[in-house]
Chains A and B, each alone.
Chain A
Amino acid sequence: MIRFLAGRCLGFALTLAAVVLVSFVLMRAVRGGPFDAERRLDPAIERNLRARYHLDWPVHLQLLQYVGPLNLDERGARFLGGDGSRVLGGVLAGDFGPSLRYRDQTVGDILAQSLPVSLALGCAALLWALTFGLLAGVVSAVRRGTRTDLALRFLATALVALPNFVVASALVILLAFLWPLLPVAGWGSWRHLVLPSLALGAPVGAHVARIARTGMLETLSQDFVRAARGKGMPERIVLLRHALPGALVPVASYLGPAAAGVLTGSLVIERIFAIPGAGSHFVNSALNRDYTLAMGVTIVYCVLVYALNTGVDVLHRVLDPRIARESA
């Protein structure tokens, strides 16, 4: 396990380095700059702004300055009228630098404010997905071939197929307008969390239901279940104690990609429900050519997705020792 984790760490460092390099260079290769606007700045002022953020440097120097930890800027913040300390910090020193668009905030500030929001949304969505997904999956496996099964499977397919903004709009119409239970948008209390997390979790829940159903059916057809039934064990116990755990294994391995998907896929939901999460920065920072913010978001998501995947792999090894043996 230790060797496995060490290998993962090495892989992680390489992946991150590649992600930083590629996104840094790509971002600057895209046409248009962070200070472009329909009302263009006076050329002298634009020059000043570019110099302030080192955008007038060659790309490789900008990259070195960004990664750090050495500060290449001799002018330092004196250029800003400051005391000579650095303007752009190095990522290695834990400093993501200032946002080019949001001048009042550092990239660190923005991530610290928006990530917990996305996490809360994502957790709630997963919670819904697991609860409803497992329930639906088990019920439709047990009632295989009945109308209930058909209805649940139809619903699951629909939720996988429908784009989440359609689900979101339907939920808003139902639960905020026709039956005004919940706020239409905004952020601040648990009530604001319900609709967006339902909309975000719906496709995940549908997947969970399908996976759980398949897993459940597979276990139900196995010998030990037949044996348990043959012994005259009550059906409830057969289902809960013998069949359900078998159905859970594939669901558990789906959790990793599901969590990553919910975290990175919240952009549309955040927009529709005006939620101040990190998903919107993922896209907007690129549109705004906010190089530092886009880099910060990319790095953080890269770390998150990598950590989640590693977590799932570890989980697999715990649940099924055969995997560890095979790869050893």
Chain B
Amino acid sequence: MPRASRSRATRRVLLLALGVLILAGALALGRGASLERADCAFVNGAEPATLDPAAITAIPEGRIVRALFEGLVVRDPETLEPRPGVAESWEVSPDGLLWTFHLRQGAVWTDGERVTARDFAFSFERLLDPRTAAGYASQLFVVEGARAFATEVDERGAPRRSFDTVAIRAEDPSTLTVRLEHPFAPFLDVLACPQLAPVSERQLAAMRERFPSTWTVEWLRPEHLVTNGPFRLLERRANDRIRLGRFAGYWDAAHVAMETIDALAVEHASTALNLYLTGEVAWVDQVPADLADRLSKREDFRSAAFLGTYFYRVNVSRAPFDDPRVRRALALAIDREAIVRKVTRCGEQPLFACVPPGFGSFAGAPMRHAASFAEDVEEARKLLKECGRTLPPIAIHYNTRELNRDVAEVIADSWRRNLGVSARLENQEWRVFLDTQKKIAYDVSRSSWIADYADPFGFLEIFTSGNENNRTGWGDARYDELLRRAAAALEPERSELLREAESILMEALPILPIYAYASKNLVDPRLQGFFENALDEHPPKAWSWKQP
């Protein structure tokens, strides 16, 4: 090729490349046609894995599902007390077993049909059906026959029993009855969980007919999904945003102020903060750890005790941690004050119990500890001398995250300085970490637990023998018995049983409590109807803008 035509070819090719680039860019941009700005936007953390109420497990999913769907009861945004949702009223038999819910006439689906008791029976069956593989199916195991229905499966994974054996009945379109196996004090709190929201039986059947092989995905698309909550699903852009729009047919629509709300999928704390600082969003629920100190002094920083705990599991099947004195010495020698003051810095509280504070009247039974850290260290040293052995180096196992590393460093330092025990940090990627913990192949392992509803039972239940969330190798027959009795007991006996169980746990210490969580919200001061509460739940139904 002669030089002139070669250079022309080069130029042409480059121009072509440029043209293709511009075209491709424009096309790709055009695909995501720009949206009008929503009335209100907030940062929702990770992209929700699903919007199917039965399948959700994480907090960001719960926020969206609670806005889209409404269960029999809802939680008061301020006090968290159960309030009427689709059920206008309810009564319970004197023995605490038979619950009767009266559904309101005005509750409708977005397709205009009435929300009936049948929808709820269907949705509860769906939640329990082993083929749904719902992580929260066990929430309903307190219902008579539910556990057997959900866990006895044939070789195809289908339930062996008929749903008729489960005591959930739609007596008529507006009456639903549920019979429990034993009285269960927090039953209404359970019903307020987003996993127990109803789905439209009619819509699912229609979708199954229309998309025989893909209906499990299709029914949740914005153009198909039928909901009954204060908002409807307007748009869903994976990894970007979920747009909620006010549902005019909602029975309480008069009290819903926001027309459109965007829930942004933003995981990076600094990005979330940038969006907040530039007024793009009205609420972020996390702050970058390195700025926690400065941000927590801002006026729009709102923090409250939050029903979650940060603790270490101890592998009690591995020497020397099989000795309760060693575990107690380790628990006593943790400088919790240093952790909450120097590491977490957002209002977290040092914790000496399994159940965090904030459960109303529940007093709890913290581990014995002195008023000052120095005295605790004194006792810890004495305990170690008593068992007469030198401790081998301890591996602190945690999932890779800056905060976990910083906490582990403070603890390792505490143990080294106060007990002369050397500790090394051992981090693992999240799922490898979970696998190690599942196999109980660690010395001490970072852990946390967050309440689904305001009740201490859940925190204690996980340490019963054989519970899949125990993961310490610890078990105590009397503890199991107390929990079993507490499950069926009514107040005040229930609290007493739980307190006794906690005292056993805090004597044996298969876990080392460290601190109780605090919520860390940055909230636009003009946003009304946003309340701090112990579950860090902030339903957008209550939100409105302060009039200027």
Contacts and interface: CB of A to CB of B under 8 A. Distances in A.
B7 A276 contact: no
B403 interface: no
Contact of B213 (A32, A77, A190, A321): A77
Contacts, number: 226
B28 A319 contact: no
A187 B266 CA distance: 11
A20 interface: no
B55 A184 contact: no
Contact of B50 (A42, A103, A127, A186): A103
Interface string A246-278: 101101100100000000000000011111110
A54 interface: no
Given A40-B468, A83-B212, A105 B55 contact: no
Contact of A114 (B27, B150, B239, B436): B239
B34 A189 contact: yes
Given A31-B435, A42-B468, A85 B213 contact: yes
Interface string A269-309: 00111111100100000011100000000000000000000
Interface residues of A, number: 85
A183 B280 contact: yes
B7 A120 contact: no
Contacts of A75: 156
B434 A114 contact: no
A53 to B, nearest CB: 10
Contact of A48 (B14, B34, B133, B436): B133
A185 interface: yes
Given A51-B157, A123-B22, A45 B274 contact: no
Contact of B275 (A186, A251, A318): A186
A274 B274 CA distance: 11
B478 interface: no
A104 B13 contact: no
A276 B31 CA distance: 13
**By CB atoms of chain A within 10 A, which of B3, B130, B264 has the most?**
B130
A280 B47 CA distance: 11
B11 interface: yes
A81 B13 contact: no
**By CB atoms of chain A within 10 A, which of B28, B433, B471 has the most?**
B28
B133 A52 contact: yes
Contacts of A52: 131, 133, 157
B463 to A, nearest CB: 13
Nearest to B218: A104
Interface string A50-87: 01100000000000000000000001011111110110
Interface string A74-112: 010111111101100000000000100111111001100
A123 B28 contact: yes
Interface stretch (A2-10, A139-147, A172-180): A172-180
Interface in B58-86: none
A51 B156 CA distance: 9
Given A36-B438, A48-B130, A85-B213, A79 B157 contact: yes
Given A109-B238, A276-B265, A248 B271 contact: no
B11 A248 contact: yes
B214 A106 contact: yes
A314 to B, nearest CB: 10
Contacts of A78: 156
Contacts of B216: 80, 82, 98, 103
Contact of B212 (A82, A106, A119, A319): A82
Interface of A: 30-33, 36-45, 48-49, 51-52, 75, 77-83, 85-86, 98, 101-106, 109-110, 113-114, 116-117, 119-120, 123-124, 126-127, 130, 172, 176-177, 180, 183-190, 193, 224, 245-246, 248-249, 251-252, 255, 271-277, 280, 287-289, 315, 318-321
Counting from the closest, the 3 A-B pairs by CB-CB distance are: A32-B431, A245-B7, A120-B28
17 contacts: A36-B438, A40-B438, A45-B135, A48-B157, A52-B131, A79-B157, A80-B131, A104-B52, A109-B238, A123-B28, A183-B280, A190-B29, A193-B29, A245-B10, A252-B10, A275-B240, A277-B239
